[in-house]
């Protein structure tokens, strides 16, 4: 499994809010994802599953439990998608436990919008 470590909200290396991003073909069982998050020991580990062109499913795990919403890990996941997995995309829509989230790329900036149900 590939794991990317991304610092969100940062202007310099080794600053910001870190998240691990794990692209997966299908989600492993919850105990495996929880174990990976505990081992990463970062505020959040996000697992992203590609559904269709710009559509992904995202799940977030802290070292202790699954969480319903995490903005910085969503932006970190978008960074991975925009810069490593699908650089042709300008927008990504995530399905999540907390609602539908959309991230738009504007040059080197990203905007997060959502219909939140938390």
For β-strands 55-61 and 66-67, DSSP reports them as antiparallel
44 catalytic residue (yes or no)? yes
Q: Which residue has the tokens 């069982």?
A: 29
Which member of 44, 88, 90, 100 is catalytic? 44
Angle among Cα 101, 59, 99 to the nearest 5 degrees reads 30
Cβ–Cβ < 8 Å for 2, 22: yes
Q: Which residue has the tokens 């959040």?
A: 44
Give the residue numbers annotated as catalytic, written as ranges: 44
């Amino acid at each position: 499994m590939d794991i990317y470590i991304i610092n969100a909200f940062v202007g310099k290396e080794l600053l910001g809010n870190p998240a691990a991003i794990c692209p997966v073909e299908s989600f492993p069982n919850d105990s495996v994802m929880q174990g990976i998050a505990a081992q990463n020991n970062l505020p959040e580990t996000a697992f992203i599953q590609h559904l269709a062109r710009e559509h992904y499913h995202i799940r977030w795990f802290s070292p202790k439990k699954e969480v319903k919403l995490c903005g910085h890990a969503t932006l970190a996941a978008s960074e991975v998608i925009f810069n490593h997995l699908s650089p042709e995309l300008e927008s990504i829509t995530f399905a999540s436990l907390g609602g539908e989230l959309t991230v738009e790329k504007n040059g080197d900036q990203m905007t997060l919008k959502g219909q939140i149900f938390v």
